[in-house]
Amino acid sequence: MVGVVTLALGLGLGIGLSCAACPGPKPASTSSPTPSSKASIIQPSVGTTWDYPLGFPLTTSNVNSSTVFYPVDLENTSANTIAALKSAGHTVVCYFSAGSVEDYREDAGDFPAAAIGNTLDGWPDEKWLDIRNAKVREVMATRIASAASKGCVGVDPDNIDGYTNNPGFDLTEDDTVDYVQYLAKMAHDAGLAYGLKNAGAIVDRVVDVAQWAINEECAEYEECADWAPFVKAGKPVFHVEYTKDDDATSVSASKLAKACAADGQSGFSSIIKHYSLDDWIIYC
Ligand SMILES: *[C@@H]1O[C@H](CO)[C@@H](O)[C@H](O)[C@H]1NC(C)=O
Ligand SMILES: *[C@@H]1O[C@H](CO)[C@@H](O)[C@H](O)[C@H]1NC(C)=O
């Protein structure tokens, strides 16, 4: 059921270890200019188990010891908690929003007014950012440095695809590709892995610089095949489907079938969660 997990496998190292079981592996990317730091960047393997605990504080008391990959909130997860989870064998990466400002963040005041756009649909405390803005990028570089100093081994920067919404700026797909390349370089230079969040339209253009993808609801929207290039490259796709009812304790057989066996989903690490990302989970 669960693939073998290989931690701390350098990108520059052979693919034999991580990809013995991967369909159609291809050589790892060599796009990062700093070979010395590449050696310590992790490459999780296809099929790595995961949960997305952004709506509750993950600790060594409520962690599932068999689940490997855990993105945690950068700001409200302590270095001590991250260290304890890592010693227990988990791969801990830091989540932050890279394409929006959340009013309640410590560094919310660091973004220039000119780079703050429209409110996100359904998230009244959150506004799109102009991802081309130099100061915005500087704040994100600081967050990546904070992720490294807290002990995270990678980053999960969210909301990088504002151009598909109504951000209030004239953002394009090329801007998002450029931003992903920037964030990935900052992460790699800090010794951290980088994961692509959503943004299915640009998968082919950035799969080489990302170590995994996180996708929300590709089964619901019948677009899982967009992320298949990650699996083909020997990189996991961490896939979550949601049940909109945050009190649900189970899902229908049809929802389960759709969430866990959609077209194009082969090899994905799939889970079902409440939209609130609380501690309820179904592992496919
Ligand atoms: C982190 O803080 C935000 C904002 O206060 C909150 O919504 C979220 O639930 C918190 N996450 C965790 C894991 O504590
Ligand atoms: C713990 O995680 C494993 C692998 O992710 C999963 O198969 C198992 O069902 C989980 N156990 C519980 C109690 O959730």
pLDDT of residue 125: 96
Q: Report residue 120: phi and psi, to 5°.
A: -70, 140
57 C-alpha to ligand 1 centroid (Å) = 8
Output the residue whose Cα is nearest ligand 1's atom 7: 55
Structure tokens at 138: 């500087």
Ligand 2 within 6 A of CB of 269: no
Backbone angles phi, psi at 272, to 5 degrees: -120, 135
Q: What is the mean pLDDT of the chain?
A: 89
What CATH number does domain 16-283 carry, 3.90.550.10, 3.40.50.970, 3.20.20.70, 3.10.440.10? 3.20.20.70
pLDDT for residue 39:
55
Please tell me the distance between residue 58's alpha carbon and the centre of ligand 2 in angstroms.
15
268: Cβ contacts below 8 Å, ≥ 6 apart: 215, 224, 227, 231, 236, 237, 238, 239
Ligand 2 atom at minimal distance to the Cα of residue 64: 1
Residue burial 77-103, b: 16+ Cβ < 10 Å; e: rest: beeebbebbbeeebbbbbbbbbbbbbe
User: Measured in angstroms, how far is the CA atom of residue 244 from the centroid of ligand 2?
Assistant: 22
For the entire predicted model, the pTM comes to 0.86
> Each residue of 28-83: pLDDT tens digit?
444 444 444 455 899 999 999 999 999 999 999 999 999 999 999 999 999 999 99
pLDDT of 9 reads 37
pLDDT, average across residues 247-268: 94
* Least confident span in 23-37, 142-156, 223-237, 268-282: 23-37
More confident call, 3 vs 179:
179
State the CB neighbour count (10 A cutoff) for residue 134: 9
From the list 143, 168, 148, the residue with the least C-alpha distance to 158 is 143
Cβ atoms of residues 232 and 188 within 8 Å: no
Question: Ligand 1 pocket by C-beta < 6 Å: which residues?
Answer: 54-57, 73, 76, 104
Q: Locate the domains of the chain by residue range.
A: 16-283
Q: What is the mean pLDDT of residues 98-122?
A: 97
2-19 mean pLDDT: 36
Share of the chain above pLDDT 70, in %: 86
Lowest mean pLDDT among 20-34, 57-71, 93-107: 20-34
